[in-house]
Amino acid sequence: MEFVRVNPEVIVAAEPLVAVSAAQVGSLRAQAAGNARRRMRLCAHRNAADKVNEMIIALSRGTYVRPHRHRAKSESFHIIAGRLDVVVFDDSGRLARVIPMGDYASQKTFYCRLSTASYHTVIIRSESAVFHETVPGPFDRSDTEWAPWAPAEDDASGSRRYFADLAASARLRTRPARARRPRPSPR
């Protein structure tokens, strides 16, 4: 399989038939770990004008993806390897839903589709995670609306604090309630 490197974080399939192996997923993970922003994307679609944009995305733990939404577009996540949380927000930035995900064998949710333009992000819960993302095309950068209440990715200190707080809040949201132990009866 031949790919064309677009930038340090993106490769695009050079052939009309795209087949991705476990070895290529491993390579994406390794490349993500070595990138400054700790992410790597394989675009299965040939160009941004395609009607369907499909990507295999590898993200390393600690990668901050600024919460965003896509106007009038759905988006789906299908986990290939690792664990992550898809975090959905209301318009004011409050957590609306946290969906813990893992590959099929993990017994966790392995597929999720956002059908509405909801602000969302992902939090990687394993060393790295790889997922298949599908979004209707054509890709137009102006269709992405960044959450005004979340720091930009290039705001190193702000995004680090925000991300740490978000990761902790999301974890609390998904932690199962502790079972109560019955109290010993008085004698």
Whole-structure pTM value: 0.88
Q: Are 18 and 43 in contact (CB under 8 A)?
A: no
What SS3 class is residue 180?
Answer: coil
Residues 6+ apart with CB under 8 A from 69: 117, 118, 119, 120, 144, 145, 147
**pLDDT at residue 28, rounded to an integer:** 96
**pLDDT at residue 137, rounded to an integer:** 83
**pLDDT at residue 180, rounded to an integer:** 44
Mean pLDDT by 10 residues, the chain (187 residues): 91 92 96 95 88 94 94 91 96 94 96 93 97 87 90 90 92 63 50
Residues 6+ apart with CB under 8 A from 186: none
**pLDDT at residue 161, rounded to an integer:** 92
**pLDDT at residue 179, rounded to an integer:** 45
- The most distant pair of C-alpha atoms in the chain lies apart, rounded to whole Å, by 77
37 is written with which tokens? 């922003």
Domains of the chain, each with CATH number or no CATH:
3-174 (2.60.120.10)
